[in-house]
Amino acid sequence: MSIQSVMENNRRIFDFVVLGSGIAGITFALQVADMGSVALVTKKDRTESNTNWAQGGIAGVQSPDDSYELHIKDTLIAGAGLCHEDAVDVLVREGPARIHELIDFGVNFTKESDGDIALTMEGGHSRHRIAFHKDLTGQEIERALVAQVAAHPAITVFEHHSGIDLAKSMDETEVCGVYVLDTVSEAIETFVARIAVFLATGGCGHVYSHTTNPSIATGDGVGIAFRAGAKVANMEFIQFHPTTLYYPGARSFLISEAVRGEGGILRDKSGRAFMKEYDERGTLAPRDIVARAIDAEMTRENAPCMYLDITHKPAAEIKERFPTIYAKCLSYGIDMTKEPIPVVPAAHYMCGGVVTDLNGKTNLKGLFASGEVSCTGVHGANRLASNSLLEGLVFSHRAAQWLRQHGDQIANDGEDVPPFRPYRGRVQEAETDALKRRIQNAMTKYVGIVRSNERLAKADAALSVIADEVDALYATCRPTEDLLELRNLYLVAQLIIRSALARQESRGLHYTTDYPHTVEEERHDTIMVKRKRTDFVLIS
Ligand code: SIN
């Protein structure tokens, strides 16, 4: 294995090519950087990731009154019977060591006055076990990790580069790299990966009109992997965060679950605290239950939002603990120390994704994945709050360890990669914008928190038309960032719809009025693979 990358015939040759610069991608890059050259490829600039936007924190057993068994139990309960217990076991037991490595990297978690790490609470957790940095945990983690990357000579960061598709060997048996669009120069380059391609592209929130996710979250990794033949699972389980700021015309802004963890109460306009009517855990029930309760109350009262009230806490405490949320609300004229915050649910997290084993390996030789893009089995039908940064950390680390042992066995010579297809013509931005809005409108209208067969079928029909239009453009036009995102967005939307249609029950985040109950025979993953362009095969 070599440390230097090589540039040959318009091909960039590395040992590892990583797509995505959030916690999963950077952790992997740092862990393999002593084994060879690493390209860290990212769509925007290196800090624009879902990680950077995470307010809440990172869960891990750290206090004497907590235990691995309790964290495992809470994760399994939230996951509503679909978590893979071996994956949850790995996550919980290996998590604390990984969190301590973050501290060694310089992550500055908020501390108690005695110097211990402060631990907060979120929905579904039976103990205080979430380490945080004010309400900017992701940003703090990203700051420390990006500094580590900058100091590492084996890692080259390519900002403003979008993955197009996986490059496979001529005989199609292995993944050998990625075709990448440089969105500044508009050049298309082949990034050859002699050992592994690692997907860490995050989620797909922008398949909906309202999301807590940054603009990069367009389901790229799922689209790229699925088109190449990777298995994708459990896409029906889209987590809607119960509380984002409701302010007409404003972009969705997350009001962290930690606000409820610190005592915030959900109320309707008249001040009624309604959550206990839905679940005995009240405001801190798992997210699927809280989001559905808010949705039900909004429908029942024909109200545009519900309210999150933390005004009973001292103002100084609120400002110190939630400076970003306080400032954001205030910028809209809402003083959360004096009045309840108007909130609505919004798309937040993709619990399914590219199927991996416990070492981040997919079913395609040479392709690995971790973080939100992956489906390790940890989240089941509903992710427990603050388990996501942890998942990225733990499974990226494991993938790197696996490659340390076995990387030589899967290495290719980098010679066998076909060139990118020819193209001509150019798509107009107005055209891609309109198509994106059509996808988002169909998903928001028909594939939200409460579903039905009839509405899913309407969405499926709409998406088939959009898919044909996007593919017709892509077949001839020069790829642009918008066009690439559209290809991934429509495909991810179709995967969500088809997976939702396949699940004939309600479980976790998937609730349908046609099958309102949980059914034991349906307790399995929904796994899809591609056969032809529009033909997805359900294999489980
Ligand atoms: C939040 O702060 O509520 C988000 C944390 C998470 O999604 O785990």
CATH number of the domain that residue 477 is part of? 1.20.58.100
In the chain, % of residues over pLDDT 90: 87
- Shared domain for 212 and 144, answered yes or no, is yes
Q: Is 206 helix (H, G, I), strand (E, B) or coil?
A: helix
Q: pLDDT confidence of 4, banded at 50, 70, 90?
A: very low
Give domain status of residue 424, yes or no. Answer: no
The whole-angstrom separation of Cα 65 and Cα 28 is: 32
539: in domain: no
Same domain, 202 and 255: no
Pick the atom of ligand 1 nearest to 239's CA: 7
Rounded to whole angstroms, the Cα distance separating 152 from 367 reads: 23
* Ligand 1 mean position, distance from CA 204 (Å): 16
Whether residue 419 lies inside any domain: the answer is no
* Domain-embedded: residue 537: no
Per-residue b or e along 9-37, where b marks 16 or more CB atoms closer than 10 Å to that residue's CB: eebbbbbbbbbbbbbbbbbbbbbbbebbb
Q: Is 386 in the pocket of ligand 1 (CB under 6 A)?
A: yes
User: What's the rounded mean pLDDT across residues 62-68?
Assistant: 97
pLDDT band for position 429 (cuts 50, 70, 90):
confident
Specify whether 385 is located in the same domain as 505. no
Q: Name the domain count of the chain.
A: 3
**What is residue 536's three-state secondary structure?**
strand
CA 350 / ligand 1 centre spacing (Å): 13
Measured from the Cα of 385, ligand 1's closest atom is 8
Regarding whether 150 and 118 lie in a shared domain, the answer is yes
CA distance 371 to 373: 6
Q: Which residue's CA is minimally distant from atom 4 of ligand 1?
A: 56
Q: Is the dihedral of CA 34, 40, 46, 48 positive or negative?
A: negative
Domain assignment of residue 139, yes or no: yes
DSSP string, 70-123: HHHHHHHHHTTT-S-HHHHHHHHHHHHHHHHHHHHTT----B-TTSSBPEE--T
Residue 22 Cα to ligand 1 midpoint, Å, equals 15
- The band of 1, judged by pLDDT with boundaries at 50, 70 and 90, is very low
Tokens representing 255?
Answer: 């009001």
- Higher per-residue confidence, 532 vs 429: 429
Could you give the CA distance from residue 50 to residue 124 in angstroms, rounded to a whole number?
22
Catalytic annotation on 426? no
Which pLDDT band holds residue 2 (cuts at 50, 70, 90)?
very low
Going by alpha carbons, the residue nearest to atom 5 of ligand 1 is 56
Same structural domain, 177 and 268: no
Question: Whole-model pTM?
Answer: 0.95
The whole-number pLDDT of residue 3 equals 43
Whether the Cβ atoms of residue 73 and residue 367 lie closer than 8 Å to each other: no
Tell which one of 23, 110, 122 to mutate to probe ligand 1, the residue whose CB is within 8 A of the most ligand atoms.
122
Cross-strand pairs, 390: none
Q: What is the mean pLDDT of the chain?
A: 94
434-458: pLDDT as tens digits: 999 999 999 999 999 999 999 999 9
Of 298, 326, 346, the one marking the end of a domain is 346
Same domain, 145 and 22: yes
Does residue 50 sit in helix, strand or coil?
A: helix
Which two tokens mark 139? 């940003």
Boundary of a domain, candidates 346, 375, 390: 346
Catalytic residue selected from 46, 194, 287, 487: 287
Does residue 21 fall inside a structural domain? Answer: yes
Q: Percentage helix, strand, coil, to 5, in the chain?
A: 40, 20, 40
Of 324, 386, 388, 393, the residue with max ligand 1 atoms within 8 A of its CB, to mutate for a pocket test, comes to 386
The residue whose CA has the least distance to atom 8 of ligand 1 is 386
What spacing in Å lies between the alpha carbon of 57 and ligand 1's midpoint? 7
Q: Verify that 58 and 136 share a domain, yes or no.
A: yes
Q: Is the CB of 47 under 6 A from ligand 1?
A: no
For position 290, which CATH number holds?
A: 3.90.700.10
User: Is the beta carbon of 55 within 6 A of some atom in ligand 1?
Assistant: yes
In this structure, are 342 and 379 located in the same domain? no
Ligand 1 pocket check for 391: Cβ under 6 Å: no
Tokens of 125: 């957790």
Is residue 536 one of the residues assigned to a domain? Answer: no
- Total length of the chain: 540
Whether 461 and 318 share a structural domain: no
Ligand 1 atom closest to Cα of residue 349: 7
pLDDT for position 533? 59
Least confident residue range of 87-96, 462-471, 531-540: 531-540
Give residue 309 CA to ligand 1 midpoint distance, Å: 18
Q: How confident is the model at residue 88 (pLDDT cuts 50, 70, 90)?
A: very high
535 Cβ neighbours under 8 A, 6+ residues apart: none
The percent of residues in the chain predicted with pLDDT above 70, rounded, is 97
Each residue of 494-533: pLDDT tens digit?
999 999 999 999 999 999 999 999 999 999 999 999 986 5
Residues 279 and 187 both lie in one domain: no
Which has the closest alpha carbon to 447: 493, 508, 515, 507? 493
**Whether residue 200 is found in the same domain as residue 93:** yes
DSSP track, 380-435: TTSPPTT-HHHHHHHHHHHHHHHHHHHHHHH---S---PPPPP------HHHHHHH
Atom of ligand 1 nearest to the CA of 243: 3
Domain-located, residue 415: no
Q: Which domain holds residue 305?
A: 243-346
Count CB-CB contacts under 10 A for residue 309: 20
The four Cα atoms 19, 22, 25, 31 give a dihedral, to 10 degrees, of: 150
Tens of pLDDT, residue by residue over 230-264, are 999 999 999 999 999 999 999 999 999 999 999 99
Whether the predicted pLDDT of 101 surpasses 80: yes
The 3 state secondary structure assigned to 264-297 is CEEECCCCCECHHHCCCCHHHCCHHHHHHHHHHH
Q: How far does residue 213's CA lie from ligand 1's centre (Å)?
A: 11
Q: Which of 322, 346, 370 is the last residue of a domain?
A: 346
Q: Please choose from 55, 324, 351 the residue to mutate so as to test ligand 1's pocket, defined by most ligand atoms within 8 A of CB.
A: 55
Q: Averaged over 364-373, what is the pLDDT?
A: 98
**Do 323 and 362 share a domain, yes or no?**
no
